[in-house]
Structure 1
Amino acid sequence: MPPSRSDLADFTYFLAIARHRSFSRAGLELRVTASGLSHALKGLESRLGVRLLNRTNRSVTLTAAGEALRDAMERPFTEIELAVESLNRFRDTPAGRIRLNVVADAATLLLGPVMATFADRYPDVEVDIVASNRIVDVVGAGFDAGIRHGGTVPEDMIAQRLSADLRWVVAASPAYLERFGTPASPSDLAQHRCIGVRLGDDRIYRWEFEGPDGEFVVPVTSRITADDGRAMLAMALGGTGLVYGVEPLFAPYVASGALSVVLGTWSTTGPGYELYYPSRRHVPTGLRAMIDLIRELRPLGL
């Protein structure tokens, strides 16, 4: 018996749940409530006569039947999505929806300055941005692309450079420096309050510097650690301690006097932001438009 229209919709729901391993995250992607997805999947399982998912309060996993169905259906549904996306070439302007997983600072520094223009130029494109430093499988999580620092992009992805190289600096508020003094060299950091940086894979970042003998790292000891540049910035502005990050994030506050850069002669420069996507996936026209606009406006140079 051929699948009904209801089956086709429920297959879409099933693939999203299988991809995210979560009813709530799949619901966010599909704009359907978690309870609605659960009801649809129960109906699909009933019609098929097999259980596709194992559900507990903490996890969603695929049964053997669920894995077989996912493997069989992923490619056809991907081809349907590509066919629909290809229709954009017949339109005057791009349309559709793009989902981006973006390292948090890039959302602020790279996307923030261009989104107003993007919305004006491409009113038929919806953009769903998840700003997080957590390292995720952009394909498995249902994203069209990711944005990360160059050098951290998976090797099997196509990368497009979106910014110039970035300078990494240490900054602090005048109140902190007045109370605790200004470090003269990276070795002085052991006597200072430093705000630790937790990376997307849960490692604690070792601050990088460059001296007469080249680049080196300093494993700072931190009583306070955060995984988001905006949170660390807020703490630094409040006098909590020294903060390490990309210079453009601190620049407005340095200009206003709310922060001061220290150890400037020891600063190092690293690769800028890159947008990346899998080579085997068709690039949505909305995503191409986003890339072109960032390169046109160059909020962080290029």
Structure 2
Amino acid sequence: MLPNRADLADFAYVLAIARHRNFRLAGLEMGVSASALSHSLKALEGRLGVRLFNRTNRSVTLTTAGEELLGAIDAPFAAIGQAVENLARFRDKPAGHIRLNVVADAATLLLGPVMPVFLDRYPDIVVDIVASNRLVDVVGEGFDAGIRYGGTVPEDMIVQRLSPDLRWVVAASPGYLERFGVPTRPEDLRDHRCLGVRLGDDRIYQWEFEGPEGEFAIALPSRVTVNETPTMQAMAINGAGMMYGTEPAFAPHIAQGSLRLVLEDWSTTGPGFHLYYSSRRQVPVPLRLLLDLIRELRPLG
């Protein structure tokens, strides 16, 4: 017996629910409400005469029948999706939607210069960017891809480099340095006001340096801790203390004279920004186009 049109539409919902094990996230991916998704699933289960998911307030799991259905329809639907994506090369104007989870500095340094050109070149593509330092499961939370520093990219992902390695430096305002002095060694920072860096997993970052004996890190007590660069820069520019971060993020303020680099001989270099996405899903054409444009414009060199 051939499935009817309603079954085919609901099979796509089954795949989304199985991927996320969450009705809200599956609905976000499919562009419908969680209640509409639940209603469609109940209708499908009623037509098929079997329960496909066990649902409680805390979990959504596949039944044995659901596992069997998933195994039968997953590959054909993936092939159909890829075939539709492949048709994009025949369009005069590529269209579609991509959703990205991006570490905050990459949103400013990479996407800030690139997106105006992208929007002009591809007016029918919609881009949803969530800029956050919080570590998330990009697949589980409905993102097409993520952008993070190379050393923090999750395993089992396809990874594409977007920038060269980045230099990590210490900066302070001229007024602060005039008042408290200029450190000559990283150890001197313990006698200074240093703005703490809170990472996406809530750890406090230890400032890293490189000396004659190699790389090392220093844990510095901080009366103020900040989790994103613009806020920290505003504080540092106004003399609150020294800050630590990537040199490209400081570059405009260095050029304006509102910040000065210190301890440059001790600076270290770390992995640049990388884009990553699941190896189990086809790459949307809009994501490929964005990747190509970042490599074309090379905003960080």
Give the C-alpha shift of residue 31 in structure 1. 2.9
Query: Using the alignment, how far apart are the partners of 2:176 and 2:42 within structure 1?
Result: 58
Query: Using the alignment, how far apart are the partners of 1:259 and 1:272 within structure 2?
Result: 23
Contact 2:171 2:262 in 1 (8 A): yes
Contact 2:52 2:66 in 1 (8 A): no
Query: Using the alignment, how far apart are the partners of 1:234 and 1:60 within structure 2?
Result: 43
Give the C-alpha shift of residue 72 in structure 1. 4.8
- When residues 129 and 73 of structure 1 are mapped into structure 2, their CA distance, relative to the original with a 3 A threshold, is farther
- When residues 45 and 258 of structure 1 are mapped into structure 2, their CA distance, relative to the original with a 3 A threshold, is farther
Letter in 1 for 2:164: A
Letter in 2 for 1:64: T
- When residues 266 and 55 of structure 1 are mapped into structure 2, their CA distance, relative to the original with a 3 A threshold, is same
The match for 1:300 is 300
Give the C-alpha shift of residue 220 in structure 1. 2.1
Give the C-alpha shift of residue 124 in structure 1. 2.3
Matched, 1:242 2:208: no
TM-score normalised by length of structure 1:
0.84
Letter in 2 for 1:136: V
The match for 1:64 is 63
- When residues 25 and 155 of structure 1 are mapped into structure 2, their CA distance, relative to the original with a 3 A threshold, is closer
Give the C-alpha shift of residue 179 in structure 1. 4.8
Deviations 1:64-113 (A, max 9, x none): 35862555543333222112111112223432222322222111110110
Give the C-alpha shift of residue 63 in structure 1. 4.7
Letter in 2 for 1:62: T
Give the C-alpha shift of residue 47 in structure 1. 4.4
Contact 1:53 1:66 in 2 (8 A): no
Give the C-alpha shift of residue 24 in structure 1. 3.7
Deviations 1:11-35 (A, max 9, x none): 3334334433444433433332344
Contact 1:166 1:270 in 2 (8 A): yes
The match for 1:203 is 203
Name the SS of the counterpart of 1:105 in structure 2.
helix
Deviations 1:119-140 (A, max 9, x none): 1111222222222223334344
Give unmatched runs, 5+ long, in structure 2: none
Give the C-alpha shift of residue 265 in structure 1. 2.1
The match for 2:15 is 15
Letter in 1 for 2:51: V
Q: Is 263-272 or 196-205 further displaced after alignment?
A: 196-205
- When residues 231 and 129 of structure 1 are mapped into structure 2, their CA distance, relative to the original with a 3 A threshold, is same
Letter in 1 for 2:200: G
Name the SS of the counterpart of 2:151 in structure 1.
coil
The match for 1:119 is 119
- When residues 39 and 151 of structure 1 are mapped into structure 2, their CA distance, relative to the original with a 3 A threshold, is same
Letter in 2 for 1:221: P
Query: Using the alignment, how far apart are the partners of 2:237 and 2:45 within structure 1?
Result: 54
Name the SS of the counterpart of 1:159 in structure 2.
strand
Letter in 1 for 2:197: V
Deviations 1:30-71 (A, max 9, x none): 332344334434444554542625242xx4432535862555
Letter in 1 for 2:203: R
Q: Is 19-28 or 180-189 further displaced after alignment?
A: 19-28
Query: Using the alignment, how far apart are the partners of 1:172 and 1:72 within structure 2?
Result: 60
Larger radius of gyration: 2
Q: Is 205-214 or 94-103 further displaced after alignment?
A: 94-103
Give the C-alpha shift of residue 2 in structure 1. 4.4
Letter in 2 for 1:54: R
Letter in 2 for 1:120: D
Name the SS of the counterpart of 2:148 in structure 1.
strand
Letter in 2 for 1:169: V
The match for 1:232 is 232
Give the C-alpha shift of residue 209 in structure 1. 0.7
Query: Using the alignment, how far apart are the partners of 2:26 and 2:236 within structure 1?
Result: 36
Query: Using the alignment, how far apart are the partners of 1:234 and 1:61 within structure 2?
Result: 45
The match for 1:50 is 51
* Aligned residue runs from structure 1 range 101-116, under 5 A: 101-116=101-116
Letter in 2 for 1:121: R
- When residues 121 and 189 of structure 1 are mapped into structure 2, their CA distance, relative to the original with a 3 A threshold, is same
Give unmatched runs, 5+ long, in structure 1: none
- When residues 254 and 84 of structure 1 are mapped into structure 2, their CA distance, relative to the original with a 3 A threshold, is same
